[in-house]
Amino acid sequence: MTTYLAVIGDANDPITWSGTPYHFLKAAQTVGLVDEGLRLCVVGRQRAVRRAAWNGFQLFRGRRYGGYQYQPCFLEKLFSPIRETIAGARVINCFQLFPPSVVHDDSVQKWFFIDMTLRQLFACYGAWLDHRTAAEAIAHETEGFRKAEVIITHSAWAAKSVTDDYGISAERVRIVVPGANLDPVAYGVWDKEQQRPSPMEASQPIKLVFVGKYWERKGLDRLLRALRIARHRGAAIQLRVIGLASADVPTAYRNEPGVEWSGFLNKRTEAARFLRAVASADLGCLLSRAEAGGIVLREFHALGLPVIGPEVGGSPDHMFRGASTAVPPDAPDETISDILVRLCKDRSALEQMRERAWNSRHEALWSTTCRRILDFWPDRNVSVVGKSGAADC
């Protein structure tokens, strides 16, 4: 059976959905798990007109603007060019919805590989969405889940929503953590060049790294305030911020001593530079207030770094035990500072975390994710080359 990977957009494009479908696709093709990525075009004047018309009708009905991407009419148009292609095939969808025509087409074997359910998405990020629009999308999602062969989630948090909120049998739900979205060629070169990190001198400052574009949701302000407290307590700490310039954050955080603002580094076009910039740190940091998982946590671990990560959403599953410290989203700055100070003073504890992260770094790659899916894959002999005929954008 031919297997396709679907997402809203082009699964073959590394910029779609932060590269997650693309990196999954490339690793899955290598082991024969997926044959092709679908190109589901979402651009063009006609679609822009349809979207504007639908939103206008929403306002006319007294509803809020937004939510077109969850509508059956949009999904049907999206999938219509490839309906013949996927007939009799298996489709792994990284989006939570199929169009109704696919949901009810028993010739298409439907799988999901999602970071969270729409119910979780709307609860965490969807305050902007009209509650009636959200309810309709969730009802459609429920129908799709009921017709699915298997629903793979990125975390136990998401799996619990599938079973508890949607009534899906746990036998049809699998948990497989995604891999790091790092260029595999550049990573292979980096990995061959590396040696096991040498023990740190007690006098060396601890080098932290933060990677992200959304400073507030990702908790950079929390990290900077905790860093300020820890430094006042005598901790020798440096921080490199990747993804943001100092001008991108509020004035109160721009001139913090010991902070290097690297700005945006493109993981695709500046892959080697990005890897070096992250891997040269001692500890990766992410203190998100809301997070479905946090692929950057996998990237930290893939580069041999232990992490301080958020105890929120599916993030705990993205971190290695023994190489991570979880911080609740409501933890006060002093608590985060205590963690930093403790690691500065107890270098043996930090070294143990670094050792664990280094030895486990390959477990954070997409190749490992694919091997774990193959453990329950119904057909181990999937061909590497499948059909053609995906829609052109």
Q: Token match 């997926």: residue? A: 34
Give domain limits for the chain. 3-179+367-374, 184-364
Q: Do domains 3-179+367-374 and 184-364 have the same CATH topology?
A: yes
What is the CATH class of 3-179+367-374?
Answer: alpha beta
**Which residues of the chain register pLDDT less than 50?**
382-393
User: In terms of CATH, what superfamily is 184-364?
Assistant: Glycogen Phosphorylase B; (3.40.50.2000)
- What per-residue confidence (pLDDT) applies to 383? 37
pTM of the model: 0.92
H-only helix segments in the chain: 20-30, 45-60, 72-79, 83-86, 100-103, 118-125, 131-147, 156-166, 184-193, 220-232, 271-279, 295-302, 333-345, 347-359, 366-374
- What per-residue confidence (pLDDT) applies to 46? 65
Distance (Å, whole) CA 156 – CA 315: 10
Phi, psi of 317 (to 5 degrees): -70, -20
- What per-residue confidence (pLDDT) applies to 45? 67
Smallest CA-to-CA distance from 165 within 233, 127, 119 is with: 119
Residue 236 contacts residue 205 (beta carbons within 8 Å)? yes
